Chain A
């Protein structure tokens, strides 16, 4: 079966299994939904009326089948707490999270590769410094870094906004300013793992005979490192990057909360806290799709870089 078709089918299966699992995990809270929607001022009769209307008292699998049937026609329902269509919520919030994830991925990829390569080539104090920085990046949680950055650059210096998101269609400069701190916080954490992997891979490549052969043929050191060593190390680095993207997605959830970015992360936190079932399911699907696409892109990139793993 062609490669892409196989990936699409496995992605669909993943979405199905994940959404069912999420439905089951949320189900113990179904009894609270009507009361949470109406609040403490509503009478018990009002709560019972809404509960019957929402239908969360039906068997879980019946509810899930109902939801699945609607989802397959493109109807993901509406938020129980904002009345917004789930599809609209996802479409409006996806660009925010994607902006964040793409920028962090690019930044951490570029910086991680550069750091790893530099450490492997220069060794000595450069390598040791990189190890220390990588350890710090691994140890520090993103939210702590974010709080530090906000305190310094937003509150004390007033250089950058503490909260909010401006779409690039409104102002590219404001969009960039609004994302600079969140991206920095996540990049610091993500770059550590990538740099380490690239360093290890580059060290291995540098020890290989073909590198000595290329040097002996008179090729410049820059060309050897940036073309041959980098290319041969990139498979490991890209794989590490793909793993980091999943971590970035997870980290973005907390970062979106701290910076009040209206992305998928803050949507799913708010939804999970109040059992907004349609929103949580929709967000989970969105996350699964993002991860699948990222992994697919990495696989394609690795195949392009390394002929040995190409499939026809």
Chain B
């Protein structure tokens, strides 16, 4: 079947959508290779299809057989992103892999939410520690008329507030924040390694 300009545009649109979706999860060279392979598949299918009066329907059937671009992209991401993150250990690829798994599986979503909480808590603690040298009077344990009001960093203090133990709070937050960050990141990498190993075990039936 020879395609009209409309047909060509349809295929280019599909490939553009696929490329855009894949770029969310994968490296540029992997994306280029995947898109080239899917294009090769489509071109060959088009070539083998008998000319039909309704080109649009024929093309729709052909693209339906491959699946929507976002679903195909998700399949690629689930297959490759976890392995990439485990082997490289880079923060961006790790985040991308967790995001991809969170979109694909219920377990991935639950783990993703837990990890996000861990990272946010660690970042909050570190932020309090970093704030102490910049706002020395706003970080510490807060008391109003001898009554405990809270601990941490408060930018706008109510009148009569006394802040004590600021440097201790900074030290504790720095240690707890670093520990939380280390534990959460370790947990993330362990989870991705488990996903990767589980997939390999499933392939061998062990």
Tell whether A and B belong to one assembly: no
* A-binding residues in B (CB < 8 A): none
* B-binding residues in A (CB < 8 A): none
